[in-house]
Amino acid sequence: MSLIKNTENLILKAVNELGYELDNVTLEKCTMKNLGQYQVNFAMGLAKKYSKNPRDIATKIMNAIKNDFKDVNIAGPGFINLTFKDEDLINNAVGDFSNHIDYEKPKKIIVDYGGANAAKALHVGHMRAANIGEAIKRLCVLFGNDVIGDVHLGDIGRQAGMLISQLKLEQPDLPWFDPNFDGEYPKVNLTAADLGRMYPEASIAAKESEERMEEVRQITAEIDKGKNKAYLNLWKQMVNISSVSIKEVYKKLNCTFDLWEGEMDALNYVPQVLEILKPYLYESNGALVMDVQKDDDKTEIPPLMVIKSDGATIYGTRDLGTIYSRMERFNPDEILYVVDQRQGMYFEQVIRGSYISGLVPPTTKLEFLGFGTMNGSDGKPFKTRDGGVMQLNDLINMIYVEIEKKIKPEINGEERKQIAEKLAIATLKYSDLLPYRRTDYNFDPVKFSSLEGKTGPYILYGNVRMKSLLSKVENKDYKIKLIPNEDVMDVLVKISELSKVLKRAYDEFAINYITDYLYELIQAFNKFYNNNNILNEQDEDIKETYIALVKSVYSISEKLLDVLAIEEVEKM
C-alpha cells in the first residue's frame, strides 16, 4: 500500500476512534509549503455535523495523530497540515514500485483501440487512438488487471471493392475473376506498396465513373454478405498484406495488440446478434433498427441501425458482433473503447443497444473513452497542405526534422539517425498524451521538440542525465541516509505524490496526470541535480544519499515512460 493511502487509513481510524463518523480521508497537497507537505480538510465538515468548533475538533485529531508525523499543525478555520517523518518519505522513495499502486480487485479488461483501416494509410486520428489506447492498456496492466488489447481493424468497407475492381481492371485473367475456376486460390502477388498505389487510383476512377462506382459497391456488398468466395479469398489476402505494414507503423509507436481482429471476424456472429436483438428490432425505411432513447434523455438519441435496407451489415452491426464474440470468449468485466470522440453518439447507441437487448449483462461495463482531435495552427483537424488527410508517417517526419537539430553535434551517422527516430516518436507521443484526452490541441513541431518545458525531449534529457550519472558510479546498493537539503526533500515529496497520480489516471483513464507528473518529477530532479555537485560531494553519507535518490527517480521515470510506451535513449 502507498504511503498516502496508509496515512489516510491511519487518520480515518484515529478520527473514528475519537467518536466521529467519517467515511474516508483524502490527503491533499498543502497549499502553503512552509506549513506542511499535505493537508486534510474534513474538520470543518465534522464541526458542522456535530455542532462543534472546527478548531477544537482539529486539535483533538492533531493530538491523536501527532506521533505519527514529524509535524502536525492547524491553520485557518481547521485545516490540518501534515509533514511526514523523514524515514517515511525515504522508505516510500526507495521501496518497490508496486508500493505506489493502490490495487483493487483485478478485472478482465478489453481495450479496443487502434482501429486502423485495412489497405488505407494510417492517419493522425489513428495515432491518437494508438498512443492513448496503449497507455491506458499498460496502466490497466500496472494495476494488476488481466488486459487484452484488440486493434479492431476496419477491414470491411469501400476499400475492398476499390482494390478488387482495380485488380480486375489491371489483371483480368487472374483466377479470382474466372467464374469457372474451382481449384484452390493461389497466393496473390501483391505488396503493400501495390495496394497503396491501387487504392487512390481506383478511388479517383470511381469518382469519375458511376459505372465503376457501382461495381465497387457490388463487390463490397458481396464481401460483406460473405457470398462471393473468390472475392472473400482475395480480400482476406489483401488485408493480410496491408496488416504487415500497419503493424510496422504501430511498432514504431510501440503499440502491440494481443488480438489482431477486425470487423470481418465479427460477421460470423451477426446471426446470433440478430437473434438476441430480435424482440427490439423494427423496420424503418426498409432498414432494421432499434430504439435506444430513454425517457429522461435531454437530447435525441436516434435509433441504432442494425441492418441496412439492402440487407447488408453496417459499422454498428460489426461492433455488436464483436461484443458478442468478446462476451462469449472472454466474458470481460470491462470493454473500453478508445476512439475519436466524434464517434461518441454512435457508441452511445451501440452501448445502450447492448444493455437493452441483453447482449451484455449489467455486470459488464462498456465504456467509451473519446479523444479530441489534433489540429493544425488554424485550429481545424490537421490536414496536408493540399487539404488531404495528414498521414501518420508524414507527421513523424515533420517532428524528425525538428528534433534532429537538437541532438549533440558529436553524435553522428547511423547512431544520430537512430536516436533522432526514437526521439521523434517520444516527442510526438509525449505531446499527444499531455493534454486531457478529450481536449483538442494544436500540432506544433517546434514547441513539441523544445528541450525546455513539458516536452518529450525535456523528459528524456533528464532521464539521460540520470543514466549518465549512474553509469559513473559503482553498481551497488545505495541508501538514502538523510535529507540534507531542500532539493532532496522536494524530490522525496514529489515521489510521495506518485500513488495518487497513478490512481487518478487509472480511475479517470486520463494519462495526462502521468505526463504532467513526469514533468514535475524531472523538474524537481533537475533542480536537485543543478544545485548539488553529486559526484564530488565530500561527505560520504550525503554522496550515497544523492546517488540513491538518483536511482529512485530513475527507476520511477523508467516505469512511467514504459506506461506511456515511450522508449528511452542512451544519449542525445
Q: Which is nearer to ligand ARG, 337 or 517 (CB)?
A: 337
- Choice between 256 and 341, CB closer to ligand ARG: 341
Strand locations in 265-383 (E) = 281-284, 287-290, 304-307, 334-340, 365-371, 374-375
How much helix, strand and coil, in percent to the nearest 5, is found in the chain? 55, 10, 35
C-alpha–C-alpha distance, residues 545 and 535, integer Å: 11
* CB 390 to ligand ARG: min, Å: 14
- Between the alpha carbon of residue 235 and those of residues 71, 250, 269, the distances in Å are 70, 22, 19
Q: Which is nearer to ligand ARG, 319 or 432 (CB)?
A: 319
Q: Which residues pair with 383 in a beta bridge?
A: 389
Cα(337)–Cα(539) distance, integer angstroms: 54
- Does residue 339 bind ligand ARG (CB under 6 A)? yes
> What secondary structure letter does DSSP report for 123?
B
CB of 116 to ligand ARG, least distance (A): 7
Q: Of 61, 18, 56, which Cα lies nearest the Cα of 40?
A: 61
**Judged by CB under 6 A, does residue 262 bind ligand ARG?**
no
Residue type, position 281, single letter: L
- The stretch near ligand ARG (CB under 6 A) out of 63-71, 110-118, 130-138, 500-508 is 110-118
| Ranges of H-type helices in 486-539 | 486-496, 498-508, 512-531
Selected from 39, 92, 117, 317, the binder of ligand ARG by CB under 6 A is: 117
By CB under 6 A, the count of residues binding ligand ARG is: 8
| Element spanning 194, H or E | helix 192-208
Residue 309: DSSP 8-state? T
Q: How far is the CB of 185 from ligand ARG (least distance, A)?
A: 27
Q: How far is the CB of 203 from ligand ARG (least distance, A)?
A: 16
* Dihedral angle of Cα 151, 152, 153, 158, to the nearest 10 degrees: -160
Element (H, E) at 220: helix 210-224
Nearer to ligand ARG, 114 or 462 (CB): 114
- Smallest distance, Å, CB 128 to ligand ARG? 11
User: How near is the Cβ of 154 to ligand ARG at its closest, in Å?
Assistant: 3
The nearest distance, CB 255 to ligand ARG, in angstroms, is 14
Quick one: DSSP state of residue 145? -
381 binds ligand ARG (CB under 6 A): no
Q: Does 112 bind ligand ARG (CB under 6 A)?
A: yes
Q: Taking contact as CB under 6 A, which single stretch among the options 111-119, 282-290, 502-510, 556-564 is the one that binds ligand ARG?
A: 111-119
Q: Looking at residue 438, what DSSP letter applies? A: T
Which residue's CB atom is positioned nearest to ligand ARG?
115
Collapsing DSSP to helix, strand or coil, 111 comes out as strand
* Rounded (10°) CA dihedral 431, 436, 442, 443: 20
Q: Hey, what amino acid is at 409?
A: P
Q: List binders of ligand ARG among 264-323 (CB under 6 A).
A: 319
Are 76 and 29 a contacting pair, CB within 8 Å?
Answer: no
- Output 123 or 500, the one with its CB closest to ligand ARG: 123
Q: How far is the CB of 339 from ligand ARG (least distance, A)?
A: 4
Query: How much is the CA Rg of the chain, to the nearest whole Å?
Result: 29
Compute the least distance from the CB of residue 278 to ligand ARG, in Å. 23
Q: Which is nearer to ligand ARG, 59 or 341 (CB)?
A: 341
**Minimal distance in Å, beta carbon 306 to ligand ARG?**
15
Residue 503 binding ligand ARG, by CB under 6 A: no
Nearer to ligand ARG, 335 or 396 (CB): 335
Beta carbon nearer to ligand ARG, 115 or 303: 115
Residue with C-alpha cell 500496472? 142
Q: For residues 62 and 151, which CB has a smaller minimum distance to ligand ARG in the complex?
A: 151
Single out the residue of 105, 103, 107, 104 nearest to residue 332, CA to CA.
107
Biggest alpha carbon–alpha carbon distance for the chain? 93
Q: Find the part of the chain contacting ligand ARG (CB under 6 A) among 30-38, 73-81, 112-120, 230-238.
A: 112-120
* 236/242 Cα distance (integer angstroms): 10
Q: Which helix (H) or strand (E) holds 73?
A: strand 71-75
**CB of 440 vs ligand ARG, minimal distance in Å:** 17
The least distance separating ligand ARG from the CB of residue 125, rounded to whole angstroms, comes to 7
**According to CB under 6 A, which one of 5, 60, 152, 422 is a site residue for ligand ARG?**
152
Residue 337 binds to ligand ARG (criterion: CB under 6 A):
yes
Burial label, 563 (beta-carbon count in 10 A; 0-12, 13-18, 19+): buried
Please answer whether residues 554 and 463 qualify as being in contact, where contact means their C-beta atoms are separated by less than 8 angstroms: yes
In the bound state with ligand ARG, the residue whose beta carbon lies nearer, of 339 and 360, is 339
115 binds ligand ARG per the rule CB under 6 A: yes
CB of 388 to ligand ARG, least distance (A): 16
| Binding span for ligand ARG by CB under 6 A among 37-45, 109-117, 181-189, 215-223 | 109-117
Which residues are at the interface with ligand ARG (CB under 6 A)? Answer: 112, 115, 117, 152, 154, 319, 337, 339
